[in-house]
């Protein structure tokens, strides 16, 4: 079950009191472990879909507690969206999970990151490979029209422990398939170009297993009716725990793909700043 907090009448709130402050406009708790929230966007902020910024709150000693958070909203959005885990004793998330519309957070408007389209060579298929809240940058890129201009198909592989942890991504993809802007740009067949492959590792669901296993066994290719990955046609982005990133990199390299960067585009990229829990 989800809990929605209505949009705040932020105009009536007092003036900002924190440095680099932005105002929370909406909060949604997906379960007792995950939540998403939206904040106002600085007028000067320009970013590429897939990048991250530092956000935080004042600590008990008054000094800011900041962490890297991928921007889950696309570059064209008037607001900024973030997706987070809840850690009861976490220095930041223990406080962040209690924010309400109208509250302020600290947002340092200096976006960076490797999960950007410019870091990939041209190809036919774009794979987003994520565990847990690692789906956040792909929530941005799935809503970015340029993703569909550059690639014929976009495949979102997302793995979590339980089905309720997949809810954020599932709802996003379902809504995107009926997105009026993308439908207008790319026609009625647009929905068939976005493929979604959610799996669980602890709860029984229609699709199960780790991303690495489903790639190496070929199960995901068989289930989606796609050919195995190859360097000529496939590009990929990885976002998860450090262990997940390392394991998936090895699998992609086994398919002949090479790791790229902003300065040297190749077949796949990894977000090194993400430090979320593994599966």
Percent of the chain with pLDDT strictly greater than 90: 78
Q: What is the pLDDT of residue 274?
A: 55
Q: What is the pLDDT of residues 108-118, one digit of tens each?
A: 999 999 999 99
Phi, psi for 140 (deg, rounded to 5): -70, -50
212, 236 Cβ separation under 8 angstroms: no
Of the two residues 185 and 237, the one the predictor is more confident about is 237
Q: What is the pLDDT of residues 265-278, one digit of tens each?
A: 999 999 877 544 43
pLDDT at 228 over 60: yes
pLDDT at 2 over 70: no
Q: Note the helical H segments in the chain.
A: 93-96, 136-142, 145-150, 167-176, 180-186, 211-216, 219-224, 242-254
Locus of tokens 């957070």? 105
Separation CA 37–CA 252 (nearest Å): 33
**Range with the poorest average pLDDT among 14-28, 97-111, 116-130, 249-263:** 14-28
Per-residue confidence band for 8, with pLDDT thresholds at 50, 70 and 90: very low
């Amino acid at each position: 079950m989800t809990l929605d907090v209505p949009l705040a009448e932020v105009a009536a709130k007092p003036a900002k009191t924190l440095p680099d402050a932005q105002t929370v406009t909406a909060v949604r708790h997906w379960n007792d472990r995950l939540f998403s929230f939206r904040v106002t966007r600085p007028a000067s902020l320009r970013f590429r879909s897939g990048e991250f910024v530092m956000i935080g709150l004042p600590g008990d000693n008054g000094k800011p507690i900041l962490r890297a958070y991928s921007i889950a909203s696309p570059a064209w959005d008037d607001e900024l969206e973030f997706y987070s885990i809840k850690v009861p004793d976490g220095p930041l998330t223990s406080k962040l999970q209690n924010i309400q519309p109208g509250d302020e957070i600290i947002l340092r408007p200096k976006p960076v990151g490797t999960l950007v389209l410019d870091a990939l060579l041209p190809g036919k298929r774009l794979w987003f490979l994520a565990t847990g809240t690692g789906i956040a940058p792909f929530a941005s890129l799935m809503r970015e029209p340029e993703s569909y201009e550059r690639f014929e198909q976009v495949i979102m592989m997302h793995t979590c422990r339980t089905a309720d942890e997949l809810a954020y991504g599932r709802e996003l993809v379902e809504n995107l398939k009926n997105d009026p802007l993308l439908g207008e740009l790319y026609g009625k067949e647009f929905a068939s170009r976005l493929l979604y492959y959610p799996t669980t590792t602890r709860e029984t669901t229609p699709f199960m297993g780790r991303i690495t296993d489903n790639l190496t066994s070929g199960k995901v290719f068989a289930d989606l009716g796609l050919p195995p990955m190859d360097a000529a046609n496939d590009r990929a982005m990885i976002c998860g725990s450090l262990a997940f990133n390392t394991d998936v990199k090895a699998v992609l390299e086994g398919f002949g793909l090479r790791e790229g960067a902003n300065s040297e585009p190749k077949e796949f990229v990894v977000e090194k700043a993400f430090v979320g829990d593994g599966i």
